[in-house]
A = this chain, B = another copy of it.
Amino acid sequence: MVSAQRATIQDVAVLSGLSICTVSRALRNLPNVSEKAHRKVAEAAGKLGYRASPAAARLAGGSTGSIAIIAPTATAWFFAQAVEAAEEVFADGGHDTVLLSLRNNAEVRTRVFADLAALRQRVDGVLLLNVDLDADEIDALAGSGLAVASVGMSGVPWDNVGIDDEHAAWAATSHLLELGHWDLAVLSGRELGGHSVRTSNNRLDGFSRALSEHHLTVHPDLVINAGSSIEGGRSAMTELIAHRGLPSALFADCDEIAFGALMALREHGLGAPKDVSVIGIDDHPMSWFLGLSTVAQPVADQGAFAANLLCERLLNPEQDHAPTSHFLDTKLIERKTTRRNRRTDKNHD
């Protein structure tokens, strides 16, 4: 069935008794190919185990057969989940997945987005995961000829799927407020250098809104960038405790940050909800175990969904229907790290 030497389109042409050109068209399901020709080509290709050379295809103006996933980091739980889910969709669609981690590093980020032509040369499309792009970058990407889709980047000129981050953060924060907390800190998912994780900004907005609905304002000292790692949460919390003292409650941008915060608390002989209420976002597999209150979101679904949208776009490049936006549901899960405020010192700050 499969010859030792890789079969070329030429071989398929010969075996099927058609020209290379017709074979090429048949293989790509282009119009103007008769039923009969289609069948013959399919049979010949099957018999030879033919697979088009992505390099040759790309060189001649066709597709590369691969899609890039660009993520701020590949290790955070959310990204690992989304990447694997997307990779599965891509693989099943016959695309290779090239992983581009920005590593929370501005320089790497620049290197990637500065030369989209180079990227275009290597992949057909890009799946962006929570990358915080500025307007110029968005325009550049949209006009790059790359198919684009994203997770967690609403308001962008391509298909996006995510959750309503603003709402999720609002829900988490409101939960805290309704428990009588007023002295709230937020451990944001942003890196020190700014940039990097887009959802964090929206979540910050939700946090602010909840506060202002309760006639509170967010105090700059109480929003701390923590990256999106356990370690980041841990050091951010340590810093918070040292420089400002314990707030009454804490909203963590994601569960891993919350884990880190819980660790830092323990290191100081403190705990949640005893000394501070803590809530995160994600519903990480460990959250149940740690009793962490959180806002659950479907992570793999988001990655797979966006990946599917991207694949479809790649399949029908001609029709440029308007970009779609999809929000998946979230759910507040109240567990043991949040409880009613028992502090008596009511002096607001």
Binding site for B on A (CB under 8 A): 2, 6, 49, 51, 53-56, 58-59, 64-66, 69, 73-75, 80-81, 83-84, 87-88, 91, 96-101, 103, 108, 115, 117-118, 121-122, 229-231, 259, 262-263, 266, 285-286, 288-289
Known: A6-B117, A58-B55, A230-B286. A83 touches B74 (CB 8 A): yes
Cβ-closest chain B residue relative to A54 = B122
- Chain B residue nearest to A81 (CB atoms) is B75
Instruction: Please name all residues of chain B whose beta carbon is closer than 8 Å to the beta carbon of A262 when the two chains form the complex.
Output: 289
A263 to B80, CA, bound (A): 22
A101 and B87 within 8 A (CB): yes
- CB neighbours of A100 from chain B (8 A): 87, 91, 96-97
Contact A118 B51 (CB under 8 A): yes
Contacts A230-B285, A259-B289, A288-B263; A55 near B121 (Cβ below 8 A): yes
**Cβ distance A111 to chain B, nearest Cβ, rounded Å:** 8
Residues on B with beta carbons closer than 8 Å to the beta carbon of A74: 80, 83-84, 87
Residues of B within 8 A of A118 (CB): 6, 51
User: What residues on B are CB-neighbors of A96 within 8 Å?
Assistant: 98, 100, 122
CA distance A49 to B289 in the complex (A): 53
Does the CB pair A121–B54 fall under 8 Å?
yes
Q: How far is the CB of A74 from chain B (nearest CB, A)?
A: 4
Number of copies: 2
**What's the minimum C-beta distance from A88 to chain B, rounded to whole angstroms?**
6
Q: Which residues of B contact A87 (CB under 8 A)?
A: 74, 99-101
Q: How far is the CB of A238 from chain B (nearest CB, A)?
A: 14
> Taking CB as reference atom, which chain B residue is nearest A64?
B55
Among B64, B80, B84, point to the contact of A103 (Cβ < 8 A): B84
Cross-interface CB contact of A80 among B54, B75, B289, cutoff 8 Å = B75
Minimum C-beta distance from A95 to chain B (A): 10
Beta-carbon contact of B285 and A266 below 8 Å: no
Closest approach, in angstroms, between the C-beta of A333 and any C-beta of chain B? 16
Nearest Cβ on chain B to A61's Cβ, whole angstroms: 10
Residues of B within 8 A of A51 (CB): 115, 118, 121
> What residue in chain B is nearest A231 (Cβ atoms)?
B285
A and B contact pairs by CB, cutoff 8 A, 24 listed:
A6-B117, A6-B118, A51-B115, A51-B118, A54-B121, A55-B58, A55-B121, A56-B59, A59-B59, A66-B122, A69-B99, A74-B83, A74-B84, A75-B81, A83-B99, A87-B99, A96-B98, A96-B100, A97-B100, A99-B99, A259-B285, A259-B289, A263-B288, A263-B289
Q: Which residues of B contact A231 (CB under 8 A)?
A: 285
In the complex the two chains form, what is the Cα distance from A290 to B339 in whole Å?
22
List, in ascending order, chain B residues with CB within 8 A of A49's CB. Answer: 115
CA distance A96 to B51 in the complex (A): 22
Q: Which of B56, B59, B115, B121 contacts A2 (CB 8 A)?
A: B115
Residues of B within 8 A of A56 (CB): 55, 59
A115 to B97, CA, bound (A): 17
